[in-house]
Every structure is written in structure tokens, then in C-alpha cells.
Amino acid sequence: MTKLTLGAHPYMLGFDQLERLLERSAKSGNEGYPPFNIEQTSDNSYRITLAVAGFGEDDLSVTVEDRQLVIRGRQGADMGERVFLHRGIAARQFQRSFVLADGVEVGAAIMENGLLHIDLTRAQPETVVQTIKINKWGQ
């Protein structure tokens, strides 16, 4: 039995790029750190919030690479001679990726109380109706 993919389905023409995006997001291997929320703030806007306790603005980078939002965190190695009796706050680097649909734009990135908020907006496309002229055979 052959596997019917989204791009190979006879009624789904031109969706091969969507299938590649789904495969890429499934392979991203996000392990759950840092934890995050995604909320819908209006009909056309969203907010991603990551818990980045211990990271400063200079330790984080937010980029868009090939329709993929990538958040990276790397803490400086300035721990010095500190001796921890218990270390429960993670101090490791991370990378979180989110695939963005066409028309979704990244707005502001805001740090607040150990949380990184990233605002996204989705542009409403104009409805386009196109009439196709039907010609007689041979013309």
C-alpha cells in the first residue's frame, strides 16, 4: 500500500510546500525547554510567550529564517567562582522554532518579568475573483 501524501492528493494542487513545512516542523525536535504559551490576542494576532528566567535581552536572539521564527538563548559564562548548593534554574542554551504561515509577520519582542513575549499579526488577504474566459475548441 502506498502512502498518499498531501502533495500527491488529486484535489490538493500546489500544496507540496505546505507538506515540506509540516515535515520540517515535525523534525525540529523541540524538547520542551523553554516552556511556552501561544495565545490568540485578536482575530488576526497572536502572542508567543517563552519562560526565559535567568536570560537577559543580550542573551536572546529572535530571527525569521525562511518563514520560520527562531528564538535562541545563550547565557554568558560569567558565573565566576559561584558555588551552588542547589541549581534549579536552567542555564543552558536553547533554540525554539515556529513555522510561520504566509502573511504572518513578527511584530515586537518584549521582555517582562522573565518572560519573552513575541507578537505576531496575520494580514487579511483581499478576496480576488477571477473570471476565466471559455474559448471554443480550436481557437
pLDDT digits (tens, 9 = 90+) for 28-72: 555 688 999 999 999 999 999 999 988 999 999 999 998 899 999
Summary mean pLDDT of the chain? 84
Query: Rounded CA gap, 56 and 71, in Å?
Result: 13
pLDDT single digits (tens) 72-99: 999 766 666 788 899 887 778 999 999 8
* Cell output for 106: 513578527
* pLDDT at position 115 over 90: yes
Angle made by CA atoms 74, 75, 81, in degrees to the nearest 5 = 150
Which range of 32-36, 85-89, 111-115, 122-126 scores highest in mean pLDDT? It is 111-115
Query: Rounded CA gap, 93 and 76, in Å?
Result: 10
Give the mean model confidence (pLDDT) for residues 106-116. 95
Question: Which of the two residues, 21 and 101, has the higher pLDDT score?
Answer: 101
DSSP 11: T
Tell me, what's the pLDDT at 139?
63
Sequence spans of domains, the chain: 1-30, 33-122
Report the top-level CATH class of 33-122.
Answer: mainly beta
* Cell output for 7: 502533495
* pTM: predicted TM-score of the whole model, two decimal places: 0.69
* pLDDT at position 6 over 90: no
* pLDDT at position 24 over 80: no
Give the mean model confidence (pLDDT) for residues 99-125. 93
Query: Rounded CA gap, 19 and 77, in Å?
Result: 40
